[in-house]
Chains A and B, each alone.
Chain A
Amino acid sequence: EAGVAQSPRYKIIEKRQSVAFWCNPISGHATLYWYQQILGQGPKLLIQFQNNGVVDDSQLPKDRFSAERLKGVDSTLKIQPAKLEDSAVYLCASSNAKDNYGYTFGSGTRLTVV
Protein backbone atom coordinates (compact mmCIF):
# COMPACT_ATOMS: atom_id res chain seq x y z
CA GLU A 1 0.00 0.00 0.00
CA ALA A 2 1.13 3.56 -0.61
CA GLY A 3 2.49 5.35 2.42
CA VAL A 4 1.61 8.69 3.97
CA ALA A 5 2.47 11.45 1.50
CA GLN A 6 3.60 14.89 2.63
CA SER A 7 4.62 17.99 0.74
CA PRO A 8 6.69 20.01 0.48
CA ARG A 9 9.76 18.18 1.82
CA TYR A 10 11.53 21.41 2.74
CA LYS A 11 10.44 25.00 3.23
CA ILE A 12 12.37 28.10 4.20
CA ILE A 13 10.42 31.24 5.08
CA GLU A 14 11.02 34.48 6.88
CA LYS A 15 9.43 35.11 10.26
CA ARG A 16 5.93 36.56 10.09
CA GLN A 17 5.30 34.86 6.75
CA SER A 18 2.69 32.16 6.26
CA VAL A 19 3.23 28.55 5.29
CA ALA A 20 1.05 25.52 4.62
CA PHE A 21 1.82 21.81 4.66
CA TRP A 22 -0.17 19.08 2.99
CA CYS A 23 -0.72 15.47 3.97
CA ASN A 24 -2.38 12.57 2.19
CA PRO A 25 -2.85 9.64 4.59
CA ILE A 26 -2.98 5.95 3.76
CA SER A 27 -6.22 5.13 1.99
CA GLY A 28 -8.90 4.10 4.44
CA HIS A 29 -7.13 5.39 7.53
CA ALA A 30 -9.71 7.28 9.56
CA THR A 31 -7.33 8.88 12.03
CA LEU A 32 -4.79 11.51 11.04
CA TYR A 33 -2.22 13.22 13.25
CA TRP A 34 0.07 16.19 12.88
CA TYR A 35 3.23 16.12 14.98
CA GLN A 36 5.93 18.74 15.46
CA GLN A 37 9.47 17.52 16.00
CA ILE A 38 11.95 20.13 17.09
CA LEU A 39 15.62 19.21 16.70
CA GLY A 40 16.78 17.03 19.58
CA GLN A 41 13.29 16.31 20.83
CA GLY A 42 10.69 13.65 20.22
CA PRO A 43 7.60 14.23 18.11
CA LYS A 44 4.91 16.28 19.88
CA LEU A 45 1.28 15.90 18.91
CA LEU A 46 -0.31 19.08 17.56
CA ILE A 47 -3.70 17.84 16.42
CA GLN A 48 -5.60 14.59 15.90
CA PHE A 49 -8.46 14.11 13.44
CA GLN A 50 -10.96 11.28 13.33
CA ASN A 51 -12.36 11.41 9.79
CA ASN A 52 -13.00 15.15 9.35
CA GLY A 53 -13.57 15.94 13.02
CA VAL A 54 -10.99 17.19 15.52
CA VAL A 55 -10.42 14.78 18.42
CA ASP A 56 -7.61 16.62 20.20
CA ASP A 57 -6.03 19.98 19.45
CA SER A 58 -5.02 20.84 23.00
CA GLN A 59 -1.36 21.28 22.04
CA LEU A 60 -2.00 23.34 18.92
CA PRO A 61 -1.00 27.03 19.28
CA LYS A 62 -4.30 28.23 17.93
CA ASP A 63 -3.29 31.87 17.69
CA ARG A 64 -1.03 30.99 14.75
CA PHE A 65 -1.60 27.36 13.79
CA SER A 66 -4.66 25.96 12.07
CA ALA A 67 -5.45 22.62 10.49
CA GLU A 68 -8.28 21.12 8.55
CA ARG A 69 -9.21 17.80 7.08
CA LEU A 70 -11.96 18.41 4.60
CA LYS A 71 -13.84 15.31 3.46
CA GLY A 72 -11.93 13.23 5.97
CA VAL A 73 -9.03 12.44 3.67
CA ASP A 74 -6.26 15.00 2.94
CA SER A 75 -5.23 17.49 5.56
CA THR A 76 -3.45 20.83 5.60
CA LEU A 77 -1.59 22.45 8.47
CA LYS A 78 -1.05 26.20 8.31
CA ILE A 79 1.13 28.57 10.30
CA GLN A 80 0.35 32.27 10.12
CA PRO A 81 2.45 34.18 11.06
CA ALA A 82 5.51 32.00 11.56
CA LYS A 83 7.99 32.53 14.38
CA LEU A 84 11.62 31.46 14.62
CA GLU A 85 10.71 28.78 17.19
CA ASP A 86 8.41 27.11 14.64
CA SER A 87 11.48 25.74 12.88
CA ALA A 88 10.98 21.98 13.08
CA VAL A 89 10.00 18.91 11.11
CA TYR A 90 6.24 18.58 10.77
CA LEU A 91 5.20 14.96 10.61
CA CYS A 92 1.87 13.64 9.47
CA ALA A 93 0.77 10.17 10.52
CA SER A 94 -2.31 8.06 9.99
CA SER A 95 -3.78 4.97 11.54
CA ASN A 96 -6.75 2.71 11.01
CA ALA A 97 -7.06 1.51 14.56
CA LYS A 98 -4.91 1.02 17.56
CA ASP A 99 -3.16 -2.06 16.28
CA ASN A 100 0.25 -3.51 16.75
CA TYR A 101 1.81 -1.06 14.35
CA GLY A 102 0.85 2.25 15.91
CA TYR A 103 0.93 4.95 13.33
CA THR A 104 2.40 5.17 9.85
CA PHE A 105 4.37 8.36 9.46
CA GLY A 106 5.12 10.40 6.37
CA SER A 107 8.65 11.65 5.67
CA GLY A 108 7.83 15.04 7.11
CA THR A 109 8.27 18.65 6.04
CA ARG A 110 11.35 20.40 7.37
CA LEU A 111 10.49 24.04 8.06
CA THR A 112 13.19 26.65 8.62
CA VAL A 113 12.07 30.09 9.75
CA VAL A 114 14.75 32.77 9.34
Chain B
Amino acid sequence: DQQVKQNSPSLSVQEGRISILNCDYTNSMFDYFLWYKKYPAEGPTFLISISSIKDKNEDGRFTVFLNKSAKHLSLHIVPSQPGDSAVYFCAASSFGDDKIIFGKGTRLHILP
Protein backbone atom coordinates (compact mmCIF):
# COMPACT_ATOMS: atom_id res chain seq x y z
CA ASP B 1 0.00 0.00 0.00
CA GLN B 2 1.65 3.19 -1.20
CA GLN B 3 1.37 5.97 1.32
CA VAL B 4 3.11 8.54 -0.88
CA LYS B 5 2.09 8.61 -4.52
CA GLN B 6 3.66 10.34 -7.47
CA ASN B 7 1.41 9.46 -10.35
CA SER B 8 3.48 11.03 -13.13
CA PRO B 9 6.55 8.92 -13.91
CA SER B 10 7.97 11.64 -16.12
CA LEU B 11 7.47 15.26 -17.10
CA SER B 12 9.00 17.37 -19.86
CA VAL B 13 9.15 21.15 -19.55
CA GLN B 14 10.65 23.84 -21.75
CA GLU B 15 13.62 25.70 -20.29
CA GLY B 16 12.49 28.94 -18.66
CA ARG B 17 8.96 27.70 -18.02
CA ILE B 18 7.45 26.50 -14.76
CA SER B 19 7.78 22.85 -13.72
CA ILE B 20 5.06 21.50 -11.45
CA LEU B 21 5.56 18.13 -9.80
CA ASN B 22 2.65 16.63 -7.89
CA CYS B 23 2.40 14.29 -4.95
CA ASP B 24 -0.48 12.75 -3.00
CA TYR B 25 -0.42 11.00 0.34
CA THR B 26 -2.84 8.77 2.17
CA ASN B 27 -1.60 8.77 5.77
CA SER B 28 -3.22 11.62 7.70
CA MET B 29 -0.56 11.24 10.42
CA PHE B 30 2.10 12.66 8.10
CA ASP B 31 3.06 16.13 9.24
CA TYR B 32 6.35 16.80 7.49
CA PHE B 33 6.97 16.62 3.79
CA LEU B 34 10.17 16.73 1.81
CA TRP B 35 11.33 16.81 -1.78
CA TYR B 36 14.56 15.13 -2.82
CA LYS B 37 16.38 15.43 -6.12
CA LYS B 38 18.40 12.59 -7.58
CA TYR B 39 20.92 12.62 -10.40
CA PRO B 40 22.05 9.34 -12.01
CA ALA B 41 24.66 7.43 -10.01
CA GLU B 42 24.20 9.71 -7.01
CA GLY B 43 22.17 9.44 -3.84
CA PRO B 44 19.08 11.62 -3.36
CA THR B 45 19.80 15.10 -2.04
CA PHE B 46 17.45 17.18 0.04
CA LEU B 47 15.77 20.00 -1.85
CA ILE B 48 13.02 21.59 0.22
CA SER B 49 10.58 20.68 2.96
CA ILE B 50 7.34 21.88 4.51
CA SER B 51 5.70 21.33 7.86
CA SER B 52 1.97 20.66 8.05
CA ILE B 53 1.44 23.93 9.92
CA LYS B 54 2.30 25.78 6.72
CA ASP B 55 0.76 25.74 3.28
CA LYS B 56 3.70 27.18 1.37
CA ASN B 57 7.46 27.24 1.62
CA GLU B 58 9.71 29.02 -0.82
CA ASP B 59 13.44 28.74 -1.40
CA GLY B 60 14.76 30.58 -4.43
CA ARG B 61 13.33 29.03 -7.58
CA PHE B 62 11.66 26.23 -5.60
CA THR B 63 8.29 26.48 -3.88
CA VAL B 64 6.38 23.69 -2.21
CA PHE B 65 2.63 23.99 -1.66
CA LEU B 66 0.70 21.83 0.78
CA ASN B 67 -3.06 21.24 0.67
CA LYS B 68 -3.82 19.18 3.78
CA SER B 69 -7.51 18.76 3.11
CA ALA B 70 -6.73 17.22 -0.27
CA LYS B 71 -3.64 15.39 1.06
CA HIS B 72 -1.75 16.87 -1.84
CA LEU B 73 1.50 18.73 -2.27
CA SER B 74 3.29 20.13 -5.26
CA LEU B 75 6.75 21.38 -6.09
CA HIS B 76 7.04 24.38 -8.38
CA ILE B 77 10.31 25.22 -10.10
CA VAL B 78 10.44 28.55 -11.86
CA PRO B 79 12.17 29.27 -14.11
CA SER B 80 13.20 25.73 -15.03
CA GLN B 81 16.87 25.27 -15.93
CA PRO B 82 18.73 22.44 -17.69
CA GLY B 83 20.39 21.42 -14.39
CA ASP B 84 16.95 20.71 -12.98
CA SER B 85 16.71 17.59 -15.13
CA ALA B 86 16.67 14.80 -12.53
CA VAL B 87 14.36 12.44 -10.67
CA TYR B 88 12.35 14.14 -7.93
CA PHE B 89 11.12 12.16 -4.95
CA CYS B 90 8.31 13.31 -2.73
CA ALA B 91 8.65 12.04 0.85
CA ALA B 92 6.76 12.27 4.12
CA SER B 93 7.16 11.53 7.80
CA SER B 94 5.14 11.88 10.99
CA PHE B 95 5.99 13.47 14.33
CA GLY B 96 7.87 11.13 16.62
CA ASP B 97 8.84 8.78 13.80
CA ASP B 98 12.19 9.29 12.11
CA LYS B 99 11.22 7.16 9.14
CA ILE B 100 10.75 8.95 5.83
CA ILE B 101 8.45 7.30 3.30
CA PHE B 102 9.26 7.97 -0.34
CA GLY B 103 7.15 8.09 -3.47
CA LYS B 104 8.25 6.41 -6.70
CA GLY B 105 9.67 9.58 -8.15
CA THR B 106 9.03 11.74 -11.21
CA ARG B 107 11.70 12.13 -13.88
CA LEU B 108 11.86 15.76 -14.98
CA HIS B 109 13.32 16.60 -18.40
CA ILE B 110 14.08 20.25 -19.12
CA LEU B 111 14.02 20.81 -22.85
CA PRO B 112 16.28 23.41 -24.49
A interface residues (Cβ-Cβ under 8 A, vs B):
4, 9, 31, 35, 40-45, 48, 55-56, 91, 93, 95, 98, 100-108, 110
Contact = CB atoms under 8 A, between A and B. Distances in A.
Contact of B104 (A41, A91, A100): A41
A40 B104 contact: yes
Contacts of A91: 43-44
Interface string B40-53: 01111110010000
B93 interface: yes
A91 B101 CA distance: 14
Contacts of B41: 9, 107, 110
B102 A31 contact: no
Q: Contact residue range for chain B?
A: 20 to 34
A31 B104 CA distance: 24
B45 A56 contact: no
Nearest to A93: B43
Contacts of B42: 107-108
